[in-house]
Amino acid sequence: MTLQNARKRQAPINAGQKLKQKRKGTSKKRNDDEELLSSEFEDDDDDRVANTPAIGDADSSDEDETAQEKRLRLTKEYLEKLRTYKADDAGSDDEKDVVGEKLQEEILQESGKLQKPIADTCCKPQDTDFQYFRGHRLPVTAVVVSSDASIMFSASKDCSIIKWNFSDKKKLAVIKGGKKFSPKTNHQSIILALALSSDSKYLASAGHDKNIHIWDAETCNHLHAFRGHRNHVSGLAFRLNTHMLFSSSYDYTVKLWNLDVMGYVETLFGHQNAVLSCDSFVRDRCVTAGGRDGTVRIWKIPEESQLVYHGHNSSIECARFINEDYLVSGNDEGMVSIWNVNKKKPIVTIKSAHVPKEGSTNQPWISAVGALRNTDLIATGSCDGVIRVWKCTERFIALLPLFEIAVEGFVNDIQFTNNGYLVAAIGQEHRLGRWSRIKSARNRVMVVKLF
């Protein structure tokens, strides 16, 4: 007889008993998990306390902080900087006033509507405040300075462009031009205009050869040449913090170019004569001086419209934005005007802002105007032997003369730097022609410290 292992048969379990056992097992498993997690948390707390750096530890890193903690930290640092802003000048214990004023100033500056009082801090320069950059054989026609005032470019009727170190006057590079060079990569004729992008990435140049050449501002290598204008290109301007380039020409048109894709965007029609200069600032718009058609125009690109301003009875030679709401212009009768973009006529006009030299009967025209953006400081140049520096009163109600800077020759361009320098392109001849010549003048760039 074979013996077999016998199993005791269990009684069948009904549905209620199964559910009860399942709940009991789940409860037991949950208790075990809670005990395990609790022990892990206790270990983590011990480790966290042990690894917490001491307060003020210089070696602590920001890698473990969350995004919210980082925002909070940066906000506290920014507010601390605001509290110390203008601490010497404020003389007030009210931190909210100082912070509020600074924030308001930054908002107005970013929108291009600030009028910061700078003119009263300027003083007439002494002999030691002058610097001269020499290198061009013929009259200097244009000059641009980088936003950080580290480098400068100058252009001339000798078809060349020179890159300078702004601090020590050293030549960093020379871009030559002339008939022996290819029109695809170099200028073959007089250069009339320069423009430098806000990030100092692109340099644009143009002139009598109708082409707009784009250069790498760092290496001075040629990148591209825009063709499209049918006559001399008289002005160039980059929109602030973009690579959008405006160009004005003797062919009565203004063109817009996109340097991010190195392409043409559109042509703006409206002027009835040669457009002599252009300028741009924060918004997507451009101001132009219409020469003999007697108008200043603001081109609103998104709206595809233009604003036409009348007020000069003669040729308007130059125009420049002071901020987004006001601009300055000069004409060939020596008149300087301040314009509000919301009014069709100039709000301030100074007749005979520059007077003829002794023994001369010719009225010197305004060949260049410059403005320190978002401030009350402007300057005008002619051929009467001085650059005049002006102060715009609050809300641009009046234009007051500050002082004169002696200079021999034609003032063909004026630029300001944020650290207080005035830069002027000086030549024996006017940049647009050879109507007269001052033989005693030198072709150079003049840099003057104002504040």
Distances (CA, A) of 270 to 20, 91, 228, 317: 90, 53, 17, 17
Dist. CA 392–CA 390, nearest whole Å: 7
Dist. CA 219–CA 148, nearest whole Å: 18
The pTM (predicted TM-score) of the whole model is 0.79
pLDDT on residue 18: 45
* Residues 161-194 pLDDT 10s: 999 999 999 999 999 999 999 999 999 999 999 9
pLDDT on residue 7: 39
* Residues 113-171 pLDDT 10s: 778 999 999 999 999 999 999 999 999 999 999 999 999 999 999 999 999 999 999 99
Nearest Cα to Cα of residue 257 among 288, 290, 286: 286
pLDDT on residue 102: 67
Dist. CA 20–CA 42, nearest whole Å: 33
Segments of 139-270 assigned E as strands: 140-145, 151-156, 161-165, 171-175, 191-196, 202-207, 212-216, 222-226, 233-238, 244-249, 254-258, 263-268
Q: Which two tokens stand for residue 389?
A: 């520096």
Cβ atoms 414, 141 nearer than 8 A: no
Cβ atoms 186, 220 nearer than 8 A: no
Kindly report the backbone phi and psi dihedral angles of residue 171, in degrees, each rounded to the nearest multiple of 5, phi listed first: -75, 125
pLDDT on residue 80: 73
* Residues 51-92 pLDDT 10s: 444 444 434 445 567 888 888 888 777 777 766 655 544 554
What share of the chain has pLDDT > 70, as a percent?
A: 80
Nearest Cα to Cα of residue 317 among 307, 332, 328: 332
- Listing DSSP states for 361-392 in one string gives -SPPP--EEEE-TTBSEEEEE-SSSEEEEEEE
Provide mean pLDDT across the span 354-360. 83
* Residues 271-330 pLDDT 10s: 999 999 999 999 999 999 999 999 999 999 999 999 999 987 899 999 999 999 999 999
